[in-house]
Chains A and B, each alone.
Chain A
Amino acid sequence: MTPAGDRTERRQVEPDDSTPRRLPLDVEHEQLGAKFSPFAGWRMPVMYSSIIEEHFRVRTHAGLFDVSHMGRFLIRGHDALRTVQRLVATDISGLRSGEARYTVLLTPWGGIRDDLIVYRRDDGLLLIVNAGPAEGDRTWIEDHLVGDATLDDLTDITCLFALQGPDALEAITSIASCDPSGIAPFTFVNASVAGVEATIMRTGYTGEDGVELMMQHTDALRLWRETLIADRRGDIAPCGLGARDTLRLEAALLLYGRDLDQSTVPYEARLGWLTHLERADGSDFEGREALLEAQARGPSRLLVGLATDVRAIPRTGDTIVVEGEVVGEVTSGSLSPVLGHPIALGYVKPEMSDVGRTVTVVSKSKAIPARVVDRPFYRRGVTPMPKWPHRGASTRPSAKDDPR
């Protein structure tokens, strides 16, 4: 048995001389039974029990993810807003303290350098970026600091967790010095959580309601353990990058490095809604000229969702074929645990992107019949949930019997 075409962690099959960085809670994850895999230069927990079981835990109760590998930069100074306004495609001049916004950093050619969330705090703008491009982002931002603006890299001195699922908000606020109504989607508050000073952010990457938590790394172990039992019912489970990937794919949330890279123009990824070419403050930003040109030209490819009726899974790099002609490429694919059939994201020629079109996904060894479908694949509160777990769950580790 050898990996023929790896999807979740492409890097694991490539030789890598550099020792991956370890999360501050590496030992804790090991004790919880995590399997690890290198991802973007980090040794990351991929799963604790099973990807599908963790997936359903998040869809039905709540799961806790350690996502401390993501980059966290704090831009401070009187010119902090001016600096970030110049770098992101979205007009964030109206963002008030306590509010957050999803946006992208662009190259001068209009390609997506990274996608990120900007959190406006009293003391500056916090940028949470992807682990892979983080180093490059940091250099790029530092080269574009305006006036007295400074960049503090908080990645090593803080930890970031995501508690996601229908039980998440109630569970976390039951151990926090704030109430759930105080945290609307895409806002955040500072609170004491189980005696630890933390920031609770109503953001996430699973298509489920939930929060993300940021705290000093020295407080992280305590907060991790307290959060895992915050619901007092034992229904919260630790979850790894594997489930994070299947969850985000069902919600058709894009993954940088797969669905987005520097060759992707926002319009192709259907992210035009977050580009503000004309701004209230009249500000210019990196990539704006290129976006104007791209808009005039029209996209040469468009993001689509694909579904198959057979169980063969379209994988990254497979080609999308219509009547013998290659019309695009798959960028992400997996089994959808909730829908019970494979789903994928990819790009096709615009004239092939209409919902309902039948296509063939061609990999090295098979041709999979598929069709273009609506995105997201999963809608919280709308998509019916199959009965789960149907096997094995009781014998697998959970928050109830973790070994501490």
Chain B
Amino acid sequence: MNPKNLKYHKEHDWARIEGDVAVLGVTDYAQEALGDIVYIELPEVGTEVSAGSTYAEIESVKAVSDVYAPLSGTIVETNEEVVDAPELINESPYEDGWLIKVKLSDPAELDELMSAEEYDQALAELDE
């Protein structure tokens, strides 16, 4: 169910590696749990994010939730389309609904993340 080419963090965030840059977003499970997303504020380009720390808040009709960075680095690009139309995260969490691109400062952190199979397994355990 979750794309094979991505890496996953236990707080339901994903990373797609493109050279020394990672594209980050929240998983399908996260958007489903949040329900209708109505607002997101992203940090500015140049901001440092660190693995396991929050870098944004997502608001759905239901609640406010923190978004965690799965990897450390410096933000090189943010998705302005998502800021204008937060429902993109619901509609396309792995493609149009990406949040930020980060230039990685510690690629070794990649080893800490889950594969799609491991993340599917973690979700299955959540459902039990």
Whether the pair A335, B38 counts as a contact (CB closer than 8 A) is yes
- The residue of chain B having its C-beta at the shortest distance from the C-beta of A365 within the complex is B57
Measured between C-beta atoms, what is the minimum distance from A142 to chain B in Å?
Answer: 36
Query: What's the Cα separation between A386 and B109 when bound, in Å?
Result: 47
Within 8 A of B (CB), among A44-94: 46-47, 50-52
Task: Chain A residues near B13: list those with CB within 8 A.
Answer: 1
Q: Indicate whether A1 sits within 8 Å of B26 (C-beta atoms), given known contacts A7-B63, A52-B36, A391-B87.
A: yes
Within 8 Å of chain B (Cβ to Cβ): is A8? yes
Determine if A50 and B36 form an interchain contact, defined as CB atoms under 8 angstroms apart: yes
CB within 8 Å: A-B pair count: 72
Size band of the interface chain B makes with A? 20 to 34
Instruction: Give the residues from 1 to 16 in chain A that come closer than 8 angstroms, CB to CB, to chain B.
Output: 1-9
Contact present for B64 and A311 (CB under 8 Å)? no
**With an 8 A cutoff between CB atoms, is B77 at the interface?**
no
Note all chain B residues with C-beta closer than 8 A to A391: 87, 91
Cross-chain contact A47 with B35 (CB below 8 angstroms): yes
Binds A, one of B65-73, B100-108, B115-123: B65-73
Q: Is A290 an interface residue (CB 8 A)?
A: no
Look across to chain A and name the residue whose beta carbon is closest to the beta carbon of B39.
A311
The reply to whether B35 and A1 contact each other, CB–CB distance below 8 Å, is: no
- Beta-carbon contact of A3 and B36 below 8 Å: no
| Contact across chains for A8 and B62 when beta carbons are under 8 A apart | yes
User: Residue A315 at the B interface, CB < 8 A?
Assistant: yes
Q: How far is the CA of A5 from the CA of B60 in the complex (A)?
A: 11
Does the CB pair B35–A313 fall under 8 Å? no
| Nearest A residue to B67, CB-CB | A1
Answer yes or no: A182 CB below 8 A from chain B CBs.
no
Give the CA-CA distance A50 to B87 in the complex, in Å: 12
Q: B26 contacts which chain A residues (CB < 8 A)?
A: 1
Cross-chain contact B65 with A2 (CB below 8 angstroms): yes
Q: Identify which of B39, B41, B59, B62 gathers the most chain A CB atoms within 10 Å of its CB.
A: B62
B49 within 8 A of partner (CB): no
Decide: A1 near B68, CB < 8 A? Known: A7-B62, A8-B63, A392-B91: yes
Known interface pairs A391-B91, A392-B91. Does A1 touch B34 (Cβ–Cβ under 8 Å)? yes
> Does A2 contact B66, Cβ atoms closer than 8 Å?
yes
Cβ contact of B62, chosen from A4, A51, A311, A392, cutoff 8 A = A51
Asked if A312 and B66 sit within 8 Å, CB to CB, the answer is no
Contact of B63 with A2 in the complex, beta carbons under 8 Å:
no
* Minimum C-beta distance from A381 to chain B (A): 24
A12 and chain B: residue at smallest CB distance = B63
List the A side residues contacting B34 at CB < 8 Å. 1
Task: Tell me the chain B residues, 47-95 only, with Cβ under 8 Å from chain A.
Answer: 57-59, 61-68, 86-87, 90-91
Q: A8-B61, A51-B62, A313-B38 are in contact. List 16 more A-B contacts (CB 8 A).
A: A1-B12, A1-B34, A1-B65, A2-B11, A3-B64, A4-B65, A4-B66, A5-B63, A242-B62, A311-B38, A311-B39, A311-B59, A312-B41, A334-B61, A335-B39, A391-B91
* Nearest 7 CB-CB pairings of A with B: A311-B39, A1-B12, A1-B30, A5-B64, A6-B63, A51-B61, A335-B38
Can you list 16 A-B pairs, Cβ within 8 angstroms, ordered by A? A1-B11, A1-B13, A1-B58, A3-B65, A4-B63, A4-B65, A5-B64, A6-B63, A51-B36, A246-B61, A312-B39, A334-B61, A335-B38, A365-B57, A391-B87, A392-B90
